[in-house]
Chains A and B, each alone.
Chain A
């Protein structure tokens, strides 16, 4: 019961979805299953939220290390949840979008969520720069190629890169750094990306087959193998 039912569900759903591609009347089944998937994914969000509250309440109750910050998480979660679910401050009625301008939800999104998220990602620029300083030593031919490609792409996106090669004649315009950067992105980079994508495609197809045929069972947990 604990292993068989999940296996049957996976095999049935996977097989039906593949077959539906070849039988036009069943095509809507694929759309319905995608919608089912989205609905279950929302429950997964609820699960994530519930788990977050549980973890931080436990941390608070046991006064573990950095427990005062759990209050911040819980308050942030609670306020945003209330603002979103009850549409606090929404200018329209209940039919208005949850992200409508002027609502508390939108206010928190623009002034808390966006600044925090984009600064976190912006911070990565410093860490990437420091990591690349250590990693990007032109020790061999491959590392040099990587370094030169990255350098041209970086330089090609700046006015300085354009200024450096502005003297190039029209007949050699591909050697202007911005054009060279575009060419690298659209030619060798695309070739490499394509080779990787073909590899990923084959990998996903073989993994999907393993799952549908019941060979891959690791998602069932330890006692499901």
Chain B
């Protein structure tokens, strides 16, 4: 069994080398530099390593998974450093650092306040220390307070007031009298009847959906019926969200397969 593992590893290494050589020598009809050939081969092998999990958990998947964890942690650290620390903090606290990083210095009378996030940030790093870990609660409290303060207003505006006001839509659209309406009645997409139906479903759907989430009253009688309609609306929502998510994932899969068959193997296109 142990020999088999080494045999598979050797086969993977040989395949990698062959693929690299074939790409570099223009075997697929495209002139690649040695570096480009290596990078395309690496990306293809990492893609296949992740896909190998469909068979079962294996060392190649673990390799790719661990690599992803390390690379992504460093990626976000670097982006945060260059965009926030260099882009927003250094120009406000130090002319020397601004000149060193070639970013425009932004002097201001209240810039000394920017010492606060630096101190809080350093305190956050104290979490790694066994004795001073409790100090990390201070920046955490700042983060919690900022999130609470900002979200209080933001959600009240965008998720509550705005959503309710958007629900009160005219139930009669493009009305030109009964005669005109009944003589032109059709299920054309974008037609008046469909638009009216759309607005009606939105209004009743939101109302019944909220009724379903209201647990302070027993769901019986008319209230229960409205709640039942709310469940149906929510089921359509979950179904649509599910379908949309699956399509998103499938398109990602198609993207990866296109990469494998076009950029790596050169079979398509």
A interface with B by C-beta (< 8 Å):
2, 5-7, 9-18, 21, 30, 32-52, 54, 66, 69-70, 72-81, 83-85, 93-95, 97-99, 105, 107-126, 128-129, 132, 141-143, 145-154, 157, 170-176, 179, 182-202, 204-205, 207-209, 211-212, 219-221, 224
> B67 within 8 Å of A by Cβ?
yes
Q: Do A72 and B78 touch across chains, with their CB atoms under 8 A apart?
A: no
A195 touches B202 (CB 8 A): no
The smallest beta-carbon distance between A145 and chain B, in angstroms, is: 4
Query: B43 contacts A142, CB within 8 Å?
Result: no
Question: Range of interface residues on chain B?
Answer: 35 or more
Give every chain B residue within 8 A of A109 (Cβ-Cβ): 75
| Contact between chains at A212 and B152 (CB < 8 Å) | yes
Are the C-beta atoms of A70 and B88 separated by less than 8 Å? Answer: no
Contact between B151 and A208, CB atoms less than 8 A apart: yes
- Tell whether, in the assembled complex, residue A111 and residue B43 are in contact, meaning their CB atoms are under 8 Å apart: yes
The 0/1 profile, CB within 8 Å of A marked 1, for residues 28-72 of chain B is 000000000001101110110011011000010011111111111
Complex: chain A residue closest to B166, CB-CB = A194
Q: Once the chains bind, are B67 and A116 in contact (CB under 8 Å)?
A: yes
Cβ of B125 < 8 Å from any Cβ of A?
yes
Q: Are A49 and B51 in contact (CB under 8 A)?
A: no
Q: Contacts A43-B124, A198-B206 hold; do A9 and B138 have CB atoms under 8 A apart?
A: yes
A153 touches B243 (CB 8 A): yes
Asked if A43 contacts B139 (CB within 8 A), the reply is yes
CB contacts (< 8 Å) of A48 on chain B: these are 73, 76-77
Q: A7 near B141 (CB under 8 angstroms)?
A: yes
Starting from the known contacts A97-B82, A188-B201, A201-B159, 7 additional A-B residue pairs (CB-CB under 8 Å) come to A117-B72, A119-B51, A120-B68, A142-B232, A191-B209, A192-B233, A196-B237
Q: How far, in whole Å, are A93 and B250 apart by their CA atoms in the complex? A: 40
| Given A122-B255, A123-B50, residue A198 in contact with residue B210 (CB < 8 A) | yes
Cα A125 to Cα B151 in complex, Å, equals: 33
24 contacts between A and B (CB under 8 A): A5-B137, A30-B149, A37-B117, A39-B117, A40-B139, A43-B117, A43-B139, A45-B76, A69-B62, A69-B63, A73-B69, A84-B77, A98-B82, A116-B71, A118-B256, A122-B253, A123-B51, A174-B187, A176-B189, A187-B202, A191-B201, A195-B206, A201-B156, A212-B145
Interface string of B237-265 (1 = CB under 8 A from A): 11111111111011011011001000000
A172 to B185, alpha carbons, bound, how many Å? 10
State whether A194 touches B202 (Cβ < 8 A).
Answer: yes
Whole-angstrom distance between the alpha carbons of A192 and B79 in the complex? 36
A175: chain B residues at CB < 8 Å are: 187
Partner of B238, one of A97, A108, A146: A146
Per-residue A-contact encoding for B144-173, CB less than 8 Å = 1, 0 else = 111111111101101110011011000000
Whether B148 and A211, one on each chain, are in contact in the complex, defined by CB atoms closer than 8 angstroms, is: yes
Nearest-neighbour CB distance to chain A for B163, whole angstroms, equals 5
